[in-house]
Amino acid sequence: MLVTIISRYRSHRWLPLLLTTFVFLTSLWGIILLVIRAYEGPDPFDGLLSTSFYYTTQSNVLVFLTMVFFVTELRFKPFFRFVAFIALFDIVVTGVIFHVMLVPYMNEMGLMQHVLHTFTPTLYVLFYLLNVESVLSIKESFVTLLHPLIYMGFVFLVVVPLFSDLMIKTNEGATGAQYLYPFMNPANFENGVLGMMLFTLGLLAPLFVVLSMLLQQLKMKTNPA
């Protein structure tokens, strides 16, 4: 039933274009809001640099680039199907982790947070299921794990040793800001680094594997032949 609906949607004259335009503009809106926030600070360059370190920023930028690829001839390149799926995985992780693990630490949520963590993730999931026709195999879908692994190494090998002062300064002196996210800060775990490693590699990593497989299966079962 769902496959039939999606097939009819794709054959519609203007619905696919309408959704594509809406997702493109929403993802662009999120990037613009990030840049505006950086330039409203005392040091725009420092603000923009520190903003680029966050997984949220990177996933939203990847969604925007995917939309750019889709509206150009680049969507026909072999790499596009991998980029589109990585963007799906990243933006879903961004939305889920934010609402489940980070919102409890926040006093309030502004418009930008909703755009980056709610609007864009929801719209891109719809876009991917409805407009993207390629389907990865289970083995190919594990390419999504590259970004989280690289990101974790980037935080501990680059951000923490080289940009701790910048992150603390741009976060108004917040303790542990150099770790970017509370669950990556060893100080937030009873066993320090060991506790953080057990949480990220022992819990989050397996969940990421499961999520990648679930997204691949969802796409495979809803994609018209």
For the chain, the domain total comes to 1
Candidates 1, 126, 148; CA nearest to 67 is 126
Could you tell me the pTM of the whole model? 0.93
Q: How far is CA 116 from CA 109, 143, 185, in A?
A: 11, 23, 23
Structure tokens at 9: 């949607």
Cβ distance 185 to 179 under 8 Å? yes
**52/47 Cα distance (integer angstroms):** 9
DSSP string covering 44-88, please? HHHHHHHHHTSHHHHHHHHHHHHHHHHTSGGGGSTTHHHHHHHHH
- Degrees, nearest 5: CA angle 4-24-10: 15
Length of the chain, please?
Answer: 225
**Domain region containing 124:** 2-222
pLDDT values of the chain reduced to their tens digit, one per residue, 225 residues: 788 888 898 888 899 999 999 999 999 999 999 999 998 888 999 999 999 999 999 999 999 999 999 999 999 999 999 999 999 999 999 999 888 877 777 777 789 999 999 999 999 999 999 999 999 999 999 999 999 999 999 999 999 999 999 999 998 878 889 999 988 999 999 889 999 999 998 999 999 999 999 999 999 998 886
